[in-house]
Amino acid sequence: MTRYSRITGTGSFLPPRRVTNADLAAELGAKGVETSDEWIVERTGIRARHFAAPDVTSSDLGAEAARRALEAAGRGAGEIDLIIVATSTPDMVFPSAACILQNKLGIAGCAAFDVQAVCSGFVYALTVADSLIRTGGASKALVIGAEVFSRILDFTDRTTCVLFGDGAGAVVLEASETPGILASDLHADGKHVSILCVPGNVSGGKVLGDPLLKMDGQAVFKLAVGVLEDAARATLAKAGKTDADIDWLIPHQANIRIMQSTARKLKLPMDKLVVTVDQHGNTSAASIPLALDASVRSGKIRKGDTLMLEGVGGGFTWGAVLLDF
Ligand code: ACO
C-alpha cells in the first residue's frame, strides 16, 4: 500500500501587540523616518502587523501555534515523532528552535531540527516532512513556521521596516493511506544572496558585519513574480493537475501585488487567492501556515479542497506544494 502524508490539524499564534501602519508611521516619524499608511497600503497591501515583546522568541510563538494545531488534529504532543521548524530568526545560534520548542511542548526523543530557507522555509519544511513520512521515517510530524523578524529590522530604513511582522503557524502532518500532499517543487539560486540578506555573523564573541535585513525590493519583486509561476506550473505537472484544479492559492504573504500577479498568471480568479498580508505583514516562514490556519478557522478552506502553497524568499529560494486538504 502506498504511504502518503496528510494535514490533520492547523494552528497559529500572533503576539498580542498589533501595530497599524498609522502606529508605525507615528513611531518612525518621531525618529525622523517618514512613511505613511497610504504609501504602505498602495505599494504592499499591508495595513497592520504584530510585533513580539522583547523576551518572546520564535520557539515561544511556534510552541503556541503547535499546541493549537495538535488540538485541531485531536493529537497529544506525546504522539509526535518529528518536529521541523522553519525559521530565519531562531532563539539561539544553536541549539535549533525545534529542540527548544520540543522541550516547551513537554516531550523528548523525537527528531527535531530547523530548516533555514527564509520565506520559502515552510514549503521546504513541509516537503522534508512529507518525504520522511512517505519513506517510513516518521508518522506524525509537527511542521512549524515561526519568526520574530522585528529583531532583524533596521527601523531607520523605511524601505524594509514597514514590510515585516512576527508570528507562527503550524500543521500536524500524518501518515495516510490517501494522498494529502500531491507534489512539491523546491529550488534555490545562491547567486542572488545579496538582494535579500542579513549579512552579519557572530564571531569571537562579537557580531561581525551588519545584523539587520537588507533588501533590493525591486530585484526581489521581479524574481519573485517569475519563479512563483514556474514553481506552481512544475508542481501541477508533477501531480498531473491543471490550474483549474486549484481551489485556493496560498502564496507567501509578502506583497499583495506579487500575489495578485501570480494568481493572474495561473488564471485564477482573485477570490481564490488567500490574503492575510494586510493584517500580518510579511512574517517570512510563518506566513503560509498563518494564512492557512486563518482560512481553515474562518471556514473558507474545507476538507477536500486542493491547495497550492507557494514560498519565495532570501537565498534566493522558492518552491511550491500542492495538496488535498
Ligand atoms: N514610505 C514612504 N516612502 C517610501 C517608503 C516608505 N515606507 N519606502 C520607500 N519609499 C519611497 C522611496 O524612497 C522612493 O522614493 P523616491 O522615488 O523619492 O526615490 C519611492 O518610495 C519608491 O520606492 P521604490 O523602492 O521604487 O518602491 P517600489 O514600488 O519598488 O516598492 C517595495 C517597494 C514595496 C519594497 C517593493 O519593491 C516590493 O514589494 N518588493 C518585493 C519585496 C518582497 O516581497 N520582499 C520579501 C521577500 S520574502 C523574504 O525572503 C523576506
Same domain, 161 and 219: no
Write out pLDDT tens, residues 5-30.
Answer: 999 999 999 999 999 999 999 999 99
Write out pLDDT tens, residues 46-86.
Answer: 999 999 999 999 999 999 999 999 999 999 999 999 999 99
Write out pLDDT tens, residues 249-281.
Answer: 999 999 999 999 999 999 999 999 999 999 999
Burial profile 69-108: b = 16 or more Cβ within 10 angstroms, e = fewer:
bbebbebebeebbbbbbbbbbbbeeeebbbbbbbebbebe
Q: How far is the centre of ligand 1, averaged over its atoms, from the C-alpha of 278 (Å)? A: 16
- Ligand 1 is surrounded, with C-beta below 6 A, by 35, 39-40, 43-44, 118-119, 158-159, 162, 196, 215, 217-218, 220-221, 224, 254-255, 258, 282, 284, 313-314
Average pLDDT, the chain: 97
Residue 124 corresponds to which cell in the numbers above? 521546504
Cβ atoms 130, 175 nearer than 8 A:
no
CA distances (Å), origin 203, targets 76, 165, 200: 40, 28, 10
Q: Which atom of ligand 1 is nearest to the CA of 35?
A: 1
Q: How far is the centre of ligand 1, averaged over its atoms, from the C-alpha of 191 (Å)? A: 22
Burial profile 194-214: b = 16 or more Cβ within 10 angstroms, e = fewer:
ebbbbeeeeeeeeeeeeebbb
Q: How far is the centre of ligand 1, averaged over its atoms, from the C-alpha of 217 (Å)? A: 6
Q: What is the pTM of this model?
A: 0.97
Look up the domain containing 203 and give its range. Answer: 182-324
Please say if 99 is a catalytic residue.
Answer: no
Q: Alpha-carbon Rg of the chain, whole angstroms?
A: 19
Which pLDDT band holds residue 224 (cuts at 50, 70, 90)? very high
Query: Alpha-carbon distance 81 to 242, whole Å?
Result: 34
Same domain, 219 and 162: no
Same domain, 216 and 278: yes
Please say if 201 is a catalytic residue.
Answer: no
Query: Alpha-carbon distance 58 to 147, whole Å?
Result: 5
Same domain, 222 and 164: no
Please say if 252 is a catalytic residue.
Answer: yes
Q: Does position 102 have pLDDT exceeding 90, yes or no?
A: yes
Same domain, 301 and 315: yes
Instruction: Name, in order, each residue with C-beta under 8 angstroms of 38's C-beta and a sequence gap of 6 or more.
Output: none
pLDDT value for 194: 96
Same domain, 88 and 186: no
**Amino acid identity for residue 65 in this structure:** A
Same domain, 44 and 151: yes
pLDDT value for 1: 82
Q: Whose CA is nearest to atom 39 of ligand 1?
A: 255
Same domain, 96 and 208: no
Which pLDDT band holds residue 33 (cuts at 50, 70, 90)? very high
Q: Whose CA is nearest to atom 29 of ligand 1?
A: 43
Mean pLDDT of the region 275-301: 98
